[in-house]
Amino acid sequence: MLILTNHDVSNILLNLSSEQVRQLLNSLGETLSVYSKEQLSDDPKCLHQPHRSSIVTKHNDTTLVMPSSDTTSTGVKIVTLPHNGSATGAILVIEPTGQVMGMLNAAEVTAFRTALTIMTLFVRVTHIRKENIIRNITIFNRGRSRLDQLEKDAISSLRTRYPQVNFRLVSREATPDFDTLVQLSLSLADVVFCCTPSTEPLCPFRDLASTSKPRFISAIGSYKPHMHEIDTETLLSGGQIFVDSKDACLQESGELITANVKPDQLAEIGQFLASDDSPGIPSTGNIIFKCVGMGIMDLVISRGLLDIADKAAIGQTMAKF
């Protein structure tokens, strides 16, 4: 049994080679493709993805339990989202024999697998990323302290590694013209990543509509029916809505529930990953991607990270468990 702490996982992710990232991306894409195919078939399934269970305490702390299996191994992620803190938890990976393969801190894995899921679609959206050049990255947050920590943990090293990119971190509490800056940034943006469990839309569609350019917009932070990162007009602005799981998003996404979205308005990204031609991805207009997350994503990425850690002698090995 291999145990990876949050520090171990962070160390692995920060030092991944391009080839390792591609391998993880391909593994995730293949898993999502199989998942979507199996939803359309009555044959025995290789992937098993039950709905996650949610426990909400009287203190408004939420614990999510997310089981999954791809027949090769079974995974269970337990993550708690405290009412006054950051999400944290653990992922357990188990072999078919019942032998525990490994346990990982869930915080970094969850963030990485979600970002990688977005990339499985984004790399195929050619009309938005025509130049394939990143010039500006702007991050907005309510508080300054979280941005300062982000600067210390990640952005400072990214500034050194990518000096041609302009990084800007903006907090509401320290910026008098915060709303104006948000509106301006949205009007200029090609890609918008929404990553917060907001209960109301982060911006109105009119801020995006001030310019006619097409955008890639992902909403991955809201995961309950009362949460909304984008408004209905933004959600429907691309016509077809891409999702990680139709069933899960229709049950858990507040944006889809409020807009009364029907299954035929959704397209699972796994349907498009099996073909290099990516049929069905629009060549113009906005691309909207809603992801609530599935345990199968955690399983395939955790197994990959455990393999990388084992080869690099990272983590703590427990011989008997």
Instruction: Please report the pLDDT score of residue 285 as a whole number.
Output: 79
pLDDT of residue 117: 95
Burial (CB count within 10 angstroms: exposed 0-12, middle 13-18, buried 19+), residue 225: middle
Q: What pLDDT shows up at residue 239?
A: 87
pLDDT at position 71: 95
**CATH architecture for residues 114-294:** 3-Layer(aba) Sandwich (3.40)
What are the φ/ψ torsions at residue 155 (nearest 5 degrees)?
-65, -40
Listed by start position, the domains of the chain span: 2-110+296-317, 114-294
60: DSSP letter: -
- Three-state secondary structure of 116-171: HHHHHHHCCCCCCCCCCCCCEEEEEECCHHHHHHHHHHHHHHHHHHCCCCEEEEEE
pTM of the model: 0.89
Phi, psi of 152 (to 5 degrees): -70, -45
Q: Read off the tokens for 91.
A: 């992922």
- Provide the 3-class DSSP secondary structure of residue 203: coil
pLDDT string in tens for the chain (321-residue length): 999 999 999 999 989 999 999 999 999 999 999 999 898 888 889 999 998 999 999 999 999 999 999 999 999 999 998 988 888 999 999 999 999 999 999 999 999 999 999 999 998 887 777 677 899 999 999 999 999 999 998 899 999 999 999 999 999 999 999 999 999 999 999 999 999 989 999 999 999 888 888 899 999 998 889 999 999 999 999 889 999 999 999 999 999 999 999 999 999 999 888 765 555 677 777 999 999 999 999 999 999 999 999 999 999 999 887
**pLDDT tens string 180-237:** 999 999 999 999 999 998 999 999 999 988 888 889 999 999 888 999 999 999 999 9
Q: Give the CATH number of domain 2-110+296-317.
A: 3.30.1780.10
Question: In the prediction, which pLDDT does 279 show?
Answer: 53
Quick one: pLDDT at residue 86? Answer: 81
